[in-house]
A and B are shown apart, each in its own frame.
Chain A
Amino acid sequence: MAYNPLSEAEKTFILHGVQDDFRNDGRSRRDYRPMEFETNVITSASGSTRFCLANSDIIVGIKPEIDVPLSNRPNEGKIDFFVDCSANALLDFEGRGGEELALEISNCLRLAYSAAESFDLKALCILPKHQCWKLFVDILILQCSGNLYDAISFAVKCALFNTRIPRVSSALLDGGNVDLTLSDDPLDCDRLNVESAPLLVTTCRIGDQCVVDPSTEEEICSTGSIVIGVSQDKVTLLKTISGSFHPETLENSIDLAVNTALKINTKLLSALKEEEKKIGPSIRHHKSSFLM
């Protein structure tokens, strides 16, 4: 990703640090850097979040639109991801530089969310075979300091939690034409169940050990990294970004990822509920810290 060269000696230092279970910022191999988020930062979107993982800074906005379901999945809605790598985050993203990475991340999310165990797309169906909601998830990377996949997946989950879809009060099929009536009250809306929405956890192999939440420097030193999608306790996605894994290492890193994802899931959900409790039931709260 980012071109941030390291000399041989610096790489050795990082490698020994990982072996000692004491990384370059004092974390152990299983630690994440501190995360912060705020939901409902974009008033024009149905759901939004700003998520920070150390210096990685991500904004997600979600807008629902009415669409026709796929013929092979007549009673499911749709979800689509679009990632935009801003050149403010990294100079390499300038022009079309970030396109490849953006496509890779959005494909990864698409795959993770299409798994049956992960996200209940049936909730997005309005009238089987005829009408469903399609969620457009727009992700903007404002700053990047390693571990983008994880941060983005956490941010998407927060934004989905925050999403409010207008309630359909009646849906009638009138000679092939669908007649929808949406509720007039803006507060009358449906929420999504995000308990099992997938989290992506990247594990990075440095030397013989695997670490989670690699910093940019650690990403350079890694001999292999793999993105593992976890929905509650089920693995829904495996995607190698670089390098190759020995079956045993792979198993270890999957264990590591599942354990970490479980913890993150509980913490994330409780943080989301706590925030909601603080803000109260209103949809709009005065934005407090965005772009502070």
Chain B
Amino acid sequence: MTSNIKINLLIDKPKYTADLGDNNYRVFTPGESITEQKDFMRGHGTYVENGEIKSSVVGVVKKINKLISVIPMKSKYTGEIGDVVVGRVTEIQKKRWKIDTNSRLDSVLLISSINLPGGELRRRNAEDEQSMRKLLQEEDLLSAEVQNVFVDGSLSLHTRSLKYGKLSQGILVSVSPSLIKRRKTHFHNLPCGVSIIIGNNGYVWVSPTVNVELEGQGGFTQNLEAVSKTDREMIVRIKNCILALSSCYVMIYDTSIMLAYEESLKYEPKDLLNQDIMYEVGFNAKQRLLMVNQ
């Protein structure tokens, strides 16, 4: 048994500069003037000072007609109706669960907006509320959809579909929500035997693929049996790939994850912890992604 110990010198570290592909993107810093022209409207992430529109966050400018907004590089999640999110129960209150979804305020999941296991209809009585903890405990993870956004920006979630519900074994990877690409579907079964749920809130859930027919009961059961080593290796590899992508600021969706996975195959999963290999995998995936998109 040998232990793997690596100590590098920071003076040897190559400097990685972000390669933004085409140079249309420019990163604005807070207080930096975006435009002095009067006929623009200010959107999110900007403010007006002396008639100039200035950025209030670090990020890239997005123009829609006359509206100028800055998309922050790093931010809390601001939800939109229909988003798929992965969250963690922080608190159980009367008739609702409080869920941490990486937003400024905790989201709520009302007991009326879940499907009971086995499709059973809910009886509206006190007993029902008392047994809430049997379904979802504090610190449990779940996937859900945003049902509603309140005036203060907090979200109301629902799990009224068989694909949503409590999450079982796997790894949660947290990346910046601005790196998540909005797609038609956020649930993927990758060909390597790994399922991922890419939450719009920046939480990505990586887990072994399970047989849907065996477990499709509304998802409040947990399987605590040991995961096989091959599955585990794949899960860890995908996790490290996602982290590599996020360190290179590559948008995270099924294609980019698969490209990074293919790039990573020549290394052991644990090698992906080394920063130079991480950057190499991330940059190669980015280059291939640019080619795919052309």
Q: List residues of chain A with CB under 8 Å of any chain B CB.
A: 5-10, 12-13, 16-17, 19-20, 22-28, 30-38, 50, 52, 54, 212, 259-260, 263-264, 267-268, 271, 274-275, 278-279, 288-290, 292
> 1/0 per residue B82-105: CB within 8 Å of A?
000000100000000000000000
Contact call A267/B7, Cβ cutoff below 8 A: yes
Q: List residues of chain B with CB under 8 Å of any chain A CB.
A: 1-13, 15, 88, 137-141, 167-172, 222-224, 226-227, 229, 232-233, 236-237, 239-240, 268-275
- In angstroms, Cα B171 to Cα A38, docked, is 32
**Known A25-B273, A35-B7, A37-B7: A7·B88 in contact at CB below 8 Å:** yes
B271 to chain A: closest residue by CB:
A26
A31 to chain B: closest residue by CB:
B4
Contact call B7/A36, Cβ cutoff below 8 A: yes
Return chain B residues, CB-CB under 8 Å to A274. Answer: 9
Contact call B227/A16, Cβ cutoff below 8 A: yes
Distance of B134 from chain A, by nearest CB (Å): 13
Distance of B270 from chain A, by nearest CB (Å): 4
Return chain B residues, CB-CB under 8 Å to A22. Answer: 229, 232-233, 236
Return chain A residues, CB-CB under 8 Å to B1. Answer: 28, 30
Contact call B226/A16, Cβ cutoff below 8 A: yes
Contact call A34/B275, Cβ cutoff below 8 A: yes
Return chain B residues, CB-CB under 8 Å to A292. Answer: 15
**Known A26-B270, A28-B4, A212-B3: A9·B222 in contact at CB below 8 Å:** yes
**Most A Cβ at <10 Å: residue of B6, B88, B227, B233:** B6
Contact call A31/B268, Cβ cutoff below 8 A: no
Return chain A residues, CB-CB under 8 Å to B6. Answer: 32, 34-35, 267
Return chain B residues, CB-CB under 8 Å to A268. Answer: 7
Return chain B residues, CB-CB under 8 Å to A24. Answer: 171, 236, 239
Return chain B residues, CB-CB under 8 Å to A54. Answer: 273
**Known A22-B236, A267-B7: A10·B141 in contact at CB below 8 Å:** yes
Contact call B227/A30, Cβ cutoff below 8 A: no
**Partner pick for A6 among B5, B139, B229, CB 8 A cutoff:** B139
Contact call A27/B270, Cβ cutoff below 8 A: yes
Return chain A residues, CB-CB under 8 Å to B88. Answer: 5, 7
- In angstroms, Cα B233 to Cα A20, docked, is 11
**Known A32-B6, A278-B9: A25·B236 in contact at CB below 8 Å:** yes
Contact call B3/A10, Cβ cutoff below 8 A: no
5 residue pairs from A and B, CB less than 8 Å apart: A9-B222, A10-B169, A26-B273, A34-B6, A34-B274
Contact call B10/A25, Cβ cutoff below 8 A: no
Contact call A34/B10, Cβ cutoff below 8 A: no
Contact call B9/A38, Cβ cutoff below 8 A: yes
Please name 8 further chain A to chain B contacts, defined as beta carbons within 8 Å, in addition to the given A5-B138, A26-B270, A38-B10, sorted by A numbering.
Answer: A9-B224, A22-B232, A34-B273, A35-B6, A267-B6, A271-B7, A271-B9, A292-B15
Return chain B residues, CB-CB under 8 Å to A52. Answer: 10
A288 to chain B: closest residue by CB:
B11
B171 to chain A: closest residue by CB:
A24
Q: Which 5 A-B pairs have the closest CB atoms?
A: A26-B269, A30-B3, A26-B270, A38-B10, A5-B139
